[in-house]
Every structure is written in structure tokens, then in C-alpha cells.
Amino acid sequence: MADLEKLPVTVVTGFLGSGKTTLISHLMKTPGGKRLAIVVNEFGDVGVDGEILKGCAVPECPAENVLELANGCICCTVADDFIPTIEALLKLDPRPEHILIETSGLALPKPLLKAFDWPDIRSKITVDGVIALADAEAVAAGRFAPDVARVDAQRLADESIDHETPLSEVFEDQISCADIVLLTKPDLAGPEGVAKAREVLAAEARRNLPVVEVAEGVVDPRVILGLEAAAEDDMDARPSHHDEPHDHDHDDFESVVIDIPEVRGPSDLVARIEALARSRNILRVKGYAAVAGKPMRLLLQAVGARVRYQYDRPWRPDEARQGRLVVIAEHDDVDEVAIREALTDTREAAE
């Protein structure tokens, strides 16, 4: 790549648990001949996604090419975090040929695109494309993206509903900003669910967007890399609920970090996460745990009451065998004491 050529950047957005980390892990392993770098913007204080991706490092994307920003939304901390991170990646030797930015599940993509207009970096990088991931099962159920007619019907039928939820606005903004939508977990949704999800996406999209079904993050990199969208120059075609001066408020959401002791087995911890999601309207739990007698770390990912887990890597000799979970919910649903009590008493369970 010539020094004067702009470095392409792909923004990967999507709601909590939609599969962004799984997608990027796949691209790291099958980059289509490109030398990649990754920027992970997490919501919360623990770099769980960054740890997962560093564990997937390959020669085309070594661990030092995976950088984490956990101090807040990168569109809110442009000068302090985003620009220095991009500049650091541009100085790597060998220089990356493509950068992937994994936004937090709560991020609004359009304010991030505006950050690419900063003079310090505009001449050096370009937004190759915005990839929005949508959980087929969740979209089909209408939990995050009700269409306008349905929302209006709810307003008429229930006087207590006078505006859309923050989750709906986040989803709509992600779809409106996208160049392509990846419909994830189609196996869980089934054919009818996938068809319904496609109907919802078509209703939400402000323009004709390609929608590709993707299971376990497996997609040909040629489909989503090299779009040459130059999205930073195409802002008017990407309408948002937040097109006024940057006013989106992450105070709608809150994260709690919970340290958990070693557990005897996964089953009790999974049951506690499921019960917590149902009783306190928890949106997302992600993190890891230590299981007695197991040399491998247990990685957990939950979307609502749906929990997935696997052993991802051996515990290192220099790290404590202690688990840590990030719990994310809307602000009014967060009770740190109750969440901590619900998750930390795990020693009585046997697998």
C-alpha cells in the first residue's frame, strides 16, 4: 500500500450479542490475504471482547494489532482515544492493510462516522463500509426493531407508551447507517423467523440494503471488505435519530462488573444468569469463569436469558483463577447489589 493511499476501515456494528466478535474472529483467521488490525470499543470496564480476539491472533493479525478502547464510546472520546489509536495503528510495521472497528452494542454508528472527518486522520483513512449485524431470532420477535405501524398501534392501544425505547432507536440507527446487513443465527430463528426478520429489516432500511444470512460468523471476506463506500462522504444517505449535534446519551444504559469466585461447574452459573435476565431485564452478560479442576477458562456470552459457553484457553500461570462478568442493562434495571448477590454464590453447585 502506498503511503498516500487511504487505509480502509470497516465499522462493525450491531446490537448486544448479535455476533460481532464471532464475525471478527472469523475474519482474523480468514482475512482474504489482507493484513488486519482491530479496534474494540467495549461498554464497561473489562475488555472481554478484546481478550477473545487476542486469543484468535494469527500472523496476519497478531495480538499487538488488536487494540481496546474501554473508556467510553469512541465517538464521544475522539481526541483522547480514537485519533491516537488510529495513529498508533498507522505506525505499525508492517502497516495494516485494513482496520476493523467493533463498536459496542450500544454505540450509534453515525456519530462515529463523523469522527472520520477530523483533519488529523481524514487524509489517512476512509470508511470502506459499515456492516450491521442483526440477530435473526430477536429481530423476528420484534424486540428491538418494531416497524412504525406497529409502534403507532401500540401508542393508540396503550396510553403509557409515548415514545420508542432507546433499544429500538439504536437498532434503527445501525440499520440506517449500514452498507450491508448480516442476519446472524438463522438456525435459531428457523425459516419463518428469518423471513420475518427480513421483512422487519426491509421496513426499517431507508435504502435498498443487501442482507446476507451468516451462521457462526462465517462469511467470505470479499462480501464485506473492499466495499469502497467512503461512508464519511455519504452521511446524508444515512439518516439517524441523532442527526442534531451529538446528543446521544449512554446514560440510558449501565454496566456492572462482577468478580466471581471459582465455580464447581458451569450449570449453576448459567442458571443464575438465566434467572437474573428474567427477573431484572438484563440485556447482556459476558465474561469468563474459573471451574474447579479445569485448566481451561470458561467463556460465557448471554443475550437476555440465552446463554452460550465454552472453554476458550488455558489459564496462564501468572493470572488468578477468578471469574469476571460484565452485566449490561438499561439504567433503571441496574441494581448492583442484587446483581452481585444473584451471581456470586456459585460454590454449592455441582456439574
Q: Is the pLDDT of residue 77 over 80?
A: no
Report which of 176, 189, 182 is spatially closest to residue 212, judged by C-alpha positions. Answer: 182
Q: Check residues 106 and 50 and name the one with the higher pLDDT.
A: 106
Task: Tell me the whole-structure pTM to 2 decimals.
Answer: 0.65
Q: Which residue has the higher pLDDT, 41 or 256?
A: 256
Q: Does 242 have pLDDT greater than 70?
A: no
Q: What is the pLDDT of residues 35-51, one digit of tens each?
A: 888 888 765 444 445 45
What's the pLDDT band for 74 if we cut at 50, 70, 90? Answer: low
- 103-112, 118-127, 154-163, 165-174: range with highest mean pLDDT: 118-127
In this prediction, residue 133 has a pLDDT band, given cuts at 50, 70 and 90, of very high
Alpha-carbon gap, residue 183 to 136, rounded angstroms? 6
Q: Residue 282: what pLDDT?
A: 82
Q: What is the CA radius of gyration of the chain?
A: 20
39, β-bridge pairs: 67, 101
Query: Is 25:61 a contact under the CB 8 Å cutoff?
Result: no
Helical residues (DSSP H) of 231-348, grouped into ranges: 266-280, 336-344
- Please report which residue ranges of the chain form alpha helices under DSSP H: 20-29, 48-54, 83-90, 109-115, 119-122, 136-140, 148-157, 166-177, 186-204, 221-224, 266-280, 336-344
pLDDT at 59: 52
pLDDT band at 241 (very low <50, low <70, confident <90, very high): low
User: Which pLDDT band holds residue 346 (cuts at 50, 70, 90)?
Assistant: very low
Max mean pLDDT among 45-54, 108-117, 269-278 falls in: 269-278
- The CA-atom distances, in angstroms, between 339 and each of 181, 206, 331 are 34, 39, 13
Reported as a single tens digit per residue, the pLDDT across 159-206 is 433 334 456 777 888 888 888 899 999 998 899 999 999 998 888 887
Please give the mean pLDDT across all residues of the chain: 76
